[in-house]
């Protein structure tokens, strides 16, 4: 990725936040950067090509962030993974981005190349959690559970929490907690803590703050 590509990917992200997926045009993306629409078309034949490249980049970045933390103990890695799903209140920009991704997912089954990236995302998320759990079980930090099935449960809960957060923008209780925060806290206390072999989990707040600082 050169600086040009970086700029284009940032423009795609901004355009998705502003316009959503279904009605996004190459012109909308060009409007968010210093490139002309014809230059975008020179690099990417179609809007679909550009969106596939964008998803590919997003997932590659995510893979790298996960790998950077691979030397941490498994319970810290798991809390890190979960903390990334916590939305802060009024995080409208992030909500709009995920709303566009949700729109893309609802239309993904009708587009093979988008679908392939969505499949990759699913495998990456579930595979990461399963790998963390398997390592923790092997080193005696977690009780033996089925890593794949537990990963499916955790990823489903996180995905569902995010979908409800972005489509309803609602908090669950009378507190200021976002839907995603409530669900991540309950995942930690009702699913992860019971399979902890010994010791206690790293704090969620400290982990969210550390991730916010770009760690």
Contact flag: residue 135 with a second copy (CB under 8 A): no
d(CA 27, CA 205): 40
Q: Give me the DSSP letters along 66-79.
A: HHHTTTS-HHHHHH
The only residue of 47, 62, 182, 211 in contact with a second copy, by rule CB under 8 A: 182
Q: Which residue among 170, 198, 200, 214 contacts a second copy (CB under 8 A)?
A: 170
- Report, in Å, the least distance between residue 177 CB and a second copy: 9
Residues 188-207 that bind a second copy (CB under 8 A): 190-191, 194
Give 77 or 162: the residue with its C-beta nearer to a second copy: 162
If binding is defined by CB under 8 A, does position 148 make contact with a second copy? Answer: yes
Least distance to a second copy, CB of residue 126, Å = 7
Of the residues 29, 105, 137, 204, which one makes contact with a second copy according to CB under 8 A? 105
CA–CA separation, 129 and 145 (whole Å): 12
Q: Using the rule CB under 8 A, which residue among 36, 107, 139, 176 binds a second copy?
A: 107
Q: Which tokens go with 201?
A: 């989990």
Q: Which is nearer to a second copy, 106 or 139 (CB)?
A: 106
What count of residues does the chain have? Answer: 215
* CA–CA separation, 65 and 49 (whole Å): 24
In 3D space, the residue among 46, 41, 29, 58 whose CA is nearest the CA of residue 117 turns out to be 58
Query: Total residues contacting a second copy (rule CB under 8 A)?
Result: 46
Instruction: Count CB atoms within 10 A of the CB of residue 82.
Output: 25
Is residue 18 within a helix (H) or strand (E), and if so which, with residue range? helix 3-19
Q: Enumerate residues 30-89 that contact a second copy by CB under 8 A.
A: none
Measured distance CA(185)–CA(140) in Å, rounded: 23
Decide: 170 and 118 in contact? Cβ < 8 Å.
no
- Structural tokens at position 118: 């969505």
The reply to whether 127 sits near a second copy by the rule CB under 8 A is no
- With respect to a second copy, which residue has the nearer C-beta, 52 or 118? 118
Provide the binding-site residues for a second copy, judged by CB under 8 A.
20, 22, 99, 102-103, 105-109, 115, 118-119, 122, 126, 145, 148-150, 152-153, 155-161, 163-164, 166-170, 172-173, 179, 182-183, 185-187, 190-191, 194
């Amino acid at each position: 990725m050169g600086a040009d590509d970086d700029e284009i990917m940032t423009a795609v992200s901004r355009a998705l936040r502003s316009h959503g997926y279904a009605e996004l045009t190459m012109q909308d993306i060009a409007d968010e950067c210093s490139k002309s629409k014809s230059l975008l078309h020179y690099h990417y034949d179609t809007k679909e090509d550009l969106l596939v490249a964008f998803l590919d980049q997003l997932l590659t970045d995510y893979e790298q962030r996960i790998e950077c933390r691979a030397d941490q103990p498994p319970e810290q890695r798991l809390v890190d993974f979960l903390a990334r799903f916590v939305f802060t209140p009024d995080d409208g920009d992030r909500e709009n981005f995920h709303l566009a991704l949700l729109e893309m997912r609802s239309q993904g089954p009708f587009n093979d190349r988008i679908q392939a990236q969505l499949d990759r995302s699913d495998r990456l998320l579930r595979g990461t959690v399963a790998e963390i759990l398997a390592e923790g079980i092997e080193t005696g930090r977690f009780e033996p559970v089925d890593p794949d099935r537990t990963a499916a449960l955790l990823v489903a809960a996180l995905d569902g929490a995010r979908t409800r957060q972005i489509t309803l923008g609602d908090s669950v209780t009378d507190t200021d907690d976002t839907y995603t925060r409530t669900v991540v806290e309950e995942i930690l206390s009702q699913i992860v803590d019971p399979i902890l072999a010994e010791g206690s989990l790293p704090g969620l707040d400290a982990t969210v703050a550390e991730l916010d600082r770009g760690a």
